[in-house]
């Protein structure tokens, strides 16, 4: 057996997994992550205590991961390394080998995903040095949405901008890919229907699936649009940006506002941790949560309209999978879509938590397995 390593680099963390190849799906061997890159960094391997490491940037973090992983391989060869790449632009609709030409093309997309793309590519460069003979495969968060209808892919701008790549790309595609596969495997009848998937974490979006294909999604040209998120505002009138620019805000200041200081953090003045906000008695926390829930209900209705109805709602992501109170409060007021929550099943954290005409499911996502499968197809 050979091994597959997956790297999922975020702005200050890297998740990693080690899989073994063989018949059927890759077999998970180890999983872990590096947190607080650039600060008090720690490397966590599942089942072990965190270890403090010197990780001033993503390249040194990858080196620390490789140092820990090497003895765990027990002499097995790393045949392939799979990378989550947030933005694939208009040209990358499938996993791709990360050769110099591909890396150059992905580098040009950094302005579209400034929080993630540079770190994704930095992890690739470090892995190429560590495993020069391994296949390096990029798996794109935008790829799952590349076949959306034009009306859900374009903006109301002159058409030549669309042709230049100004489009509603959508993100969280690896997660939606996994959920669509699980629906086909476990709920085949529902998989053929009209399903809204809610990927709710610090970043959050919805995807409308029709027969397992992305028809519409809430994120657009960048990962800023749609739902309000931990530190990002979600849907925002572009006139607000024009106004702030006229008031003297620079591009760097706007970037900071939109990516780091808005969303739940900005609305509450407390922070972006959903658990902290749910536990808080501060009125600002309540206001932030009311806004979060209102936007989520509104966008679920929008997805149902794009699909022509609703057969099911799936919760996923860190908040979607774990925040029972959020699930309960989201479904309140969505009875007109046939959604009704079984409160006992919800609080007992069961998979099926609905008792209306439309199904409600909780399905933990697994982006790393999607990446590992793609690598296995290339080795």
Question: Pick the catalytic residue: 57, 91, 99, 141?
Answer: 141
- Strands 204-210 vs 213-217: parallel, antiparallel or unpaired: antiparallel
Q: What is the mean pLDDT of residues 67-94?
A: 92
Indicate the SS3 state at residue 116.
coil
In a domain, 298, yes or no: yes
Backbone angles phi, psi at 188, to 5 degrees: -60, -35
pLDDT at residue 10 greater than cutoff 80? no
pLDDT at residue 265 greater than cutoff 90? yes
In a domain, 233, yes or no: yes
In a domain, 64, yes or no: yes
Domains contained in the chain, number: 2
Same domain, 350 and 219: yes
CA-closest candidate to residue 271, choices 229, 219, 240, 325: 229
51 lies in which domain range? Answer: 3-140
pLDDT tens per residue across span 203-226: 999 999 999 999 999 999 999 999
Beta-bridge partner residues of 3: 20, 78
Dmax (CA) of the chain: 61
CA-closest candidate to residue 209, choices 225, 227, 187: 187
pLDDT at residue 116 greater than cutoff 90? no
Domain CATH for 46? 3.30.420.40
Q: What is the mean pLDDT of residues 239-262?
A: 96
The domain boundary, picked from 140, 157, 173, lies at 140
Same domain, 133 and 200: no
pLDDT of residue 57: 86
Distance CA 129, CA 125 (A): 6
CA-closest candidate to residue 13, choices 39, 51, 48, 50: 39
What's the N-to-C CA distance of the chain in angstroms?
Answer: 12
pLDDT of residue 336: 97
Same domain, 207 and 278: yes
Task: Report yes or no: 208 and 215 within 8 Å, Cβ to Cβ.
Answer: yes
In a domain, 204, yes or no: yes
Same domain, 220 and 357: yes
Q: How far is CA 172 from CA 129, 176, 204, 217, 374, in A?
A: 28, 6, 8, 10, 16
The alpha-carbon radius of gyration of the chain (Å, integer) is 21
pLDDT of residue 113: 85
In a domain, 129, yes or no: yes
- % of the chain exceeding 70 in pLDDT: 100
User: Sorting pLDDT into bands at 50, 70 and 90, what band is 111?
Assistant: confident
The answer to whether residue 23 is catalytic is no
CA-closest candidate to residue 212, choices 305, 311, 91, 137: 311
pLDDT of residue 45: 92
């Amino acid at each position: 057996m050979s091994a597959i390593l997956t790297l999922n680099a975020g702005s200050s963390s890297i998740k990693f997994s080690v899989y073994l190849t063989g018949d059927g799906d890759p077999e998970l061997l180890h999983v872990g992550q590096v947190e607080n890159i650039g600060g008090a960094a720690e490397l966590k391997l599942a089942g072990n205590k965190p270890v403090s490491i010197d990780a001033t940037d993503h390249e040194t973090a990858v080196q620390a991961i490789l140092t820990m992983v090497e003895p765990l391989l027990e002499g097995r060869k790393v045949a392939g390394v799979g990378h989550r790449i947030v933005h694939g632009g208009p040209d990358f609709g499938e996993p791709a080998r990360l050769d110099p030409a591909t890396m150059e093309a992905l580098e040009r997309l950094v302005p579209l995903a400034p929080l993630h793309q540079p770190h994704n590519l930095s992890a690739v460069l470090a892995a190429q040095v560590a495993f020069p003979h391994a296949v390096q495969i990029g798996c794109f968060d935008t790829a799952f949405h590349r076949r959306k209808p034009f009306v859900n892919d374009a903006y109301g701008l002159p058409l030549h901008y669309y042709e230049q790549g100004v489009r509603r790309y959508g993100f969280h595609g690896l997660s939606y890919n996994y959920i669509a596969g699980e629906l086909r495997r476990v709920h085949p009848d529902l998989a053929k229907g009209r399903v809204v998937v809610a990927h709710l974490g610090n970043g959050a979006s919805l995807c409308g699936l029709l027969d397992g294909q992305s028809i519409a999604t809430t994120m657009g040209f960048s990962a800023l649009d749609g739902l309000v998120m931990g530190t990002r505002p979600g849907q925002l009138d572009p006139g607000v940006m024009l106004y702030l620019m006229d008031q003297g805000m620079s591009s760097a200041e706007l970037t900071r506002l939109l990516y780091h200081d808005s969303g739940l953090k900005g609305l509450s003045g407390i922070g972006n941790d959903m658990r902290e906000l749910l536990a808080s008695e501060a009125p600002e926390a309540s206001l932030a949560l009311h806004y979060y829930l209102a936007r989520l209900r509104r966008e679920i209705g929008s997805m149902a309209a794009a699909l022509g109805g609703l057969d099911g709602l799936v919760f996923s992501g860190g908040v979607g999978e774990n925040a029972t109170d959020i699930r309960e409060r989201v479904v309140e007021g969505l009875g007109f879509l046939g959604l009704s929550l079984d409160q006992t099943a919800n609080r007992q954290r069961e998979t099926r938590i609905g008792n209306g005409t439309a199904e409600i499911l909780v399905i933990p996502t697994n982006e790393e397995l999607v990446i590992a499968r793609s690598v296995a197809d290339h080795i």
